[in-house]
A and B are shown apart, each in its own frame.
Chain A
Amino acid sequence: MVTAVTNLGRSGLSDWLVQRVTAVILLLYSVFIAWYLLANPDLDYMQWKALFAGTAMRIFSAAALLSTVAHAWIGLWSISTDYMTERMMGDKGNVIRWVVQLGGALLLFTYLVWGVQVLWS
């Protein structure tokens, strides 16, 4: 058992499952948006705004937004713990990884708050 304190769900299985479920949500959302754009070639701003004003669409969008944040965190965490380690970079590896992870977390948190603001404005 390897101890990890910065991954999303503390357990490898949990992260693995979240990564897959969020990928499916993002796929469904992407397919829906692509279909909507193709099905409405004369789309105008009012129709676009009306689409996102519906409760169902807001739930779907919020789910996609949360999925993006969770999916991105797990992916970035995996990459940073592959390459930014003491083994790969010497003593500075851990510090660089923590800085990158902190930067990533702040960026994702910003996207989340900003996304919620856009959806509910």
Chain B
Amino acid sequence: MLQVSVYRYNPSKDDEPYMQDYQFDTEGKDLMVLDVLEQLKARDTSLAFRRSCREGVCGSDGLNINGKNGLACITPLSTTVKNNKLVVRPLPGLPVVRDLVVDMSLFYQQYEKVKPYLINNEPAPAIERLQSPEDRAKLDGLYECILCACCSTACPSFWWNPDRFIGPSGLLQAWRFLADSRDTAKAERLSDLDDPFSVFRCHGIQNCVNVCPKGLNPTRAIGHIRNMLLKSAT
């Protein structure tokens, strides 16, 4: 039997959070962590967590699984369970709404700050803004982010300053638009980032790279932003 320990907190009736233990029979199958949670919820309907696509695309079920952030739907038990124990907690650093559900407002506020959309003030062409295959290739490894928040909530700098440090996810998106040949707002984007918190709270510890379920590298993107700031400075 798998020993499952789940973070529980219902602010309307619990004074403080606690860990609830369950015994779970995997029947010898290598289930995903989400499968375990779904079956626990069938047993105990008060358990709350987010999930949607259950195939690593929507980014809803980012959780802290045995101490490491990841998507429950694409994390097989075999890769995370040690000593027959599975500990599931909400993403660290964000306020808990209930059980495994966190309030993502701070995360989205930081995302909003980087203006995650193409800005181009030139007259729109008849069909579309063209881009060479080489320029398009620069966006690989950036556009794939699904905003699951696994990276930002694994980052101590984001834990301490979630209202000031944009965090790895937002900065990956900031670089996605700075690197886009069609975007004409590079100077404004850079000037918005040149303060001691937005970008420079990154100390390069690479927790974000370690946990990204899509295999992306926000630390490298942050390095590119820093270099771009350096090149544009006097």
Contact A82 B197 (CB under 8 A): no
A interface size (C-beta, 8 A) = 19
Q: How far is the CA of A1 from the CA of B190 in the complex (A)?
A: 10
**Interface digits, B196-234 against A, CB 8 Å rule (1 contact, 0 not)?**
111111000000000000000000000000100110010
Answer whether A12 and B160 are a contact pair too, CB < 8 Å, given A1-B191, A1-B192, A17-B230: no
Question: Interface residues of B: mostly helix, strand, loop or mixed?
Answer: loop
Q: How far is the CA of A15 from the CA of B198 in the complex (A)?
A: 13
Residues in B whose Cβ lies below 8 Å from that of A88: 160
Q: Does B161 contact A (CB under 8 A)?
A: yes
Contact B160 A2 (CB under 8 A): no
Most chain B CB atoms below 10 A, which of A2, A11, A78, A81 = A2
Residues in B whose Cβ lies below 8 Å from that of A17: 230
Contact B197 A4 (CB under 8 A): yes
Determine the interface band of chain B, counting residues with CB < 8 A from chain A. Answer: 20 to 34
Residues in A whose Cβ lies below 8 Å from that of B194: 1, 11-13
Contact A13 B160 (CB under 8 A): no
Contact A2 B200 (CB under 8 A): no
Contact A13 B164 (CB under 8 A): no
Q: Does B21 contact A (CB under 8 A)?
A: no
Binding site for A on B (CB under 8 A): 157, 160-161, 163-164, 191-201, 226, 229-230, 233
* 9 residue pairs from A and B, CB less than 8 Å apart: A1-B192, A1-B194, A2-B197, A12-B193, A12-B196, A12-B199, A15-B196, A81-B196, A82-B157
